[in-house]
Each structure stands twice: as structure tokens, then as C-alpha cells.
Amino acid sequence: MDFFPIFLNLTHQPCLVIGGGFTATRKIALLQQAGADIDVISPTLHDKLQNLQATGKIRCFLRPFQQTDLTLKTYRLIIAATNDDAVNRQVSQQAQALNIPVNVVDQPELCSFIVPSVLDRSPLQVAISTGGAAPVLARMLRAKLESVIPAAFGDLARLMARFRHKTQAQLSDTRQRRDFWETVLSGHIAELVLSGQNSAAEHAVEQLLTERTNTDSQSMGEVYLVGGGPGDPDLLTFRALRLMQKADVVLYDRLVSPAVLALVRRDAEHIYVGKRPDKHTLPQEEINLLLARLAKEGKKVLRLKGGDPFIFGRGGEEIETLMTEGVPFQVVPGITAALGTAAYAGIPLTHRDYAQSCLFVTGHLKDNTMNLNWAALTQPHQTVVVYMGLKALGLFCAEMIKHGMSGEQPAALVQKATTADQKVIIGTLQTLPQLVEAENVNLQSLIIVGDVVKLHEKLKWFNPETMARQNASVM
């Protein structure tokens, strides 16, 4: 984060603008909207500034900038908008020496703060900044938001403000208040406001608040069983994102990528319940009961899983417990690891020239053996995807060969697919275990066996290095 985002209260606060041209005029208009008391120093003034001076809305000093000007008052912030680079640098240096926030227009290296592109739905405001790197991009994003955020959102914010203190007085619990406002914003009350029926909306809020106040018993929460996909947050569904932002607490496993986890509501409680082949943070039965208990406490519980909850994710076991305990839940499918991995590795799971079917299996070892249907796995013209098979890779490949598959059968291991850390290792059933052993491979890996692996070199399209550079540029 190059600049810390912040909103300043400038109502009746003294602000200084150096410059009197068109650019300075635009900045002064923004300061006026914020209610600032504005001084302007410039030998000449734009026509609009002359009118503002004549009506007493700004105070102007018609002269060049002087070294003592920054101490005329205790200024809250300063903007330099001249076409003289030397003056702009002098203003920047002096302001920063005095610890006064300063912005030099179009010279981010001289700024201690950036003026963002603003979407104004007062009291709702959205500020967009690229840290001075790409102001045209910021303006373009603002234009997109202008088209999807109606002006009536300001009325919605004002409605909430009118009921804020009353809601705090009648609903003492923070979670109750958040649930109340989420109901307001996601239902018919918000629609009333957006359609201009403000009086009806206010009456509906009063009615809902009365209902919530008169409800003595603690309401039941809900569990959201959400597939977090293979790692890239761009692959999440809209519904997954919406529920991730509503959760009071999130239970997540080790296959959930940090980038996906970062999209959960910031003040939600995080509980790690991940499993490794040699270590379970919590037994599955305890996870099931924990989900039910947290929901019975009235919480919105997000069970966030890598991939899809119903593909080797034990989602079925968890909702069995929830149904037995009478806990409401939702299931949000995710892009399963096999589909995401294959797509980003350039290995189609089916192809009319190579494979007409696909099998998903789990590679867990039990007593150092693998009890799989080897006859089914070694059929021709199919693709086999092995989940959680890294530790058993050598045994798996040996058993496939033992049960009739050629040691020259193409095979691949893909690590951390869809992320900047993706690694693809291509070999055969005979060679893949040795190739993997020579690499530092993470447990977040899938194995793909089949003739479709031959297509990797031709069809590979995803470049992890490009993604890493893109991620670094937005951090």
C-alpha cells in the first residue's frame, strides 16, 4: 500500500492552494464541496476563481508564492497547482518540513497525499486512487461505478443515519445490529428507497426494528458451505463473495489460498481446521459439531474449502450433521481443484482424440497401502486425476504399471495451480516419482495421468511469472 486511504473533515478548515489556473480551479471546487475555507495565492486568476473571489467564497492573494506563505495560517492541507516546477518543489519541501499534508498536481513524487477520483453519493463516497501512477485508469473505474451505483444510494445512507442511534439503543448486540442492517440493505426496504419511496422505507425500518426488539430468544444463525476454488480469487462465484462478506466466523482448511481468505470480511473470526496427512487440527466429527454450535449461537458461519465442498471435501458429512442438529445452511459450489488445475496447466481432462472419460480418486494411504479399483483406473482412453496423492505417488505409479498400464503412460504433477506459484512437472508413470523427488513440491498438488498430458506443451497458456508481476504491481 503506497498511500494510506483516509477521509478528512475539512469543514471550515483553512486550506491553501498555490496556483490560479484551470487545474487549480478544479481542485478548489473539490475543497469547496468539502466545506473548506480556501486561500489562493497566484499572480493571475481563472475567470471562475475571479467570480468566487468577488462573492467572498475564497480569499485570494494576487502575487507570486513567497516563502512565508505557508505560515499565514495553520493550514490543514496545501495543494500546489502551478506550471512552475521550481515553485511546486519549494511548496512541497516546505509543507513537508512543517508536517502539513501537501499535494502537487501530477507530480506524485512530491506529494504526501493523493487526491483520488471520487464517486459522490453523499454521505456515501467512494474514492479511487492509483497512487498517481495511472489517474486515467482511476477516472475510468469511477465512470464504471457511476453506472452501477444509483444516486439513491445517498438516500439509503441517510436513512441508515437517521436510525443509527435508535438502533444502537434498542439492539445492544453488535451482531444483532449488523444482521438488522443487512436485512434492510438486501431486501424490500432498500428497493423502496431506490424507487423513491422514502416515507414507506422509513415506516418499514420502524416496523422491522420493533419486530427485532420484541424478539427475546436468540435467533438461529446459518452455515455457508462455500467452495473457495483452486486458488485464484478471480475464480470465486459472485455468491461465494457475497456470503464471505456476511460471515461472523470462518472455518478454513489448508487448501484455501491466502488471496481467497483475504476476501472474507475483515472483522470475522478466523478458525483454522486444516488437515495434513500426518496431522489433523480438529477431527472431522468435531468440525461438524463446531459448525452447528457456532450457528446455534446466532452466528453466520462460513465453512470455506479449497476447490468444491463435495469433491473430496467432506461437505456431505458436514451438512448431515447440520441437518441432524436442525441448523440452516447453504452450499455454494466452487471450481474443483481438478478442473482448475487442468485448465491452467493446459491439460484438457477429456479430448475426443485422447480421452472419452475422466475419473477422480483420492490418493490417501492407509497402512501404507492404497485400496483403489485398479482395473477401473487402468482402462484405455481415459484420464485419471489423483487428489492428495503426493506422498503415495511412487506407490500409485507402481500399482498402475503392475495392473497393466504402460510405464510410458504420460503423467503430470501440478502444484498450486491457478496461482503465481504454479509449477507443472511432466513425465511418465515410470519417471514422474523421481522427477518430483528432485523438486521442492508442496502438498497442494494434483496428479493427472492420461494421454491428454501430451497436450500440455501445445496448449499451455498460463504464465505464473506474469501473474506474480501483476500481483506485485497492485500490492
Give the tens place of pLDDT for each residue, 240-263.
998 999 899 999 998 999 999 999
Long-range contacts of 189-197 (CB under 8 A, 24+ apart): 190/156, 193/152, 193/155, 193/156, 193/159, 194/150, 194/152, 194/153, 194/156, 195/152, 196/152
Render the burial of 136-151: b for 16+ CB within 10 Å, e for the rest.
eebeebbeeeeeeeee
Percentage of residues in the chain having pLDDT higher than 70:
96
Q: Are residues 183 and 205 in contact, defined by beta-carbon separation less than 8 angstroms?
A: no
Q: Any binding-site annotation on 237?
A: no
Q: pLDDT for 41-50, tens place per residue? A: 999 999 999 9
Q: Quote the pLDDT of residue 277.
A: 57
Q: Any binding-site annotation on 418?
A: no
Q: Any binding-site annotation on 311?
A: yes
Q: pLDDT for 75-126, tens place per residue? A: 999 999 999 999 999 999 999 999 999 999 999 899 999 989 899 999 999 9
Q: Any binding-site annotation on 134?
A: no
DSSP 402-424: HTT--TT-EEEEEESTTSTT-EE
Q: Any binding-site annotation on 333?
A: no
**Cell 423513491 sits on residue:** 196
Beta bridge partner(s), residue 279:
276
Q: Are residues 373 and 387 in contact, defined by beta-carbon separation less than 8 angstroms?
A: no
Q: Any binding-site annotation on 19?
A: no
Phi/psi at 380 (5° precision): -75, 165
Residue 312 predicted with pLDDT over 80: yes
* Angle (CA) 305 311 315, round 5°: 55
Residue 216 predicted with pLDDT over 70: no
Mark whether 179 is an active-site residue. no
Residue 355 predicted with pLDDT over 70: yes
Residue 475 predicted with pLDDT over 50: no
Residue 271 predicted with pLDDT over 50: yes
> How are beta strands 249-252 and 300-305 bridged, if at all?
parallel
The mean per-residue pLDDT over the stretch 431-442 comes to: 90
Q: Any binding-site annotation on 337?
A: yes
Alpha-carbon torsion 352, 353, 357, 361, what sign?
negative
Q: Quote the pLDDT of residue 316.
A: 94
Residue 466 predicted with pLDDT over 80: no
The mean per-residue pLDDT over the stretch 346-352 comes to: 95
Q: Are residues 390 and 362 in contact, defined by beta-carbon separation less than 8 angstroms?
A: no
Band (pLDDT 50/70/90 cuts) for residue 380 is: very high
Q: pLDDT for 409-423, tens place per residue? A: 999 999 999 999 999
Mark whether 47 is an active-site residue. no
Nearest alpha-carbon partner for 387 in 325, 339, 440, 436: 339
Q: Any binding-site annotation on 160?
A: no
Q: Are residues 328 and 222 in contact, defined by beta-carbon separation less than 8 angstroms?
A: yes
* Average pLDDT over the chain, rounded to an integer: 92
Q: Quote the pLDDT of residue 414.
A: 96
pTM, rounded to two decimals: 0.70
Choose the catalytic residue: 84, 120, 155, 275: 275
Choose the catalytic residue: 37, 69, 232, 253: 253
Domains of the chain and any CATH numbers = 14-115 (3.40.50.720), 153-213 (no CATH), 222-335 (3.40.1010.10), 338-459 (3.30.950.10)
Residue 280 predicted with pLDDT over 80: no
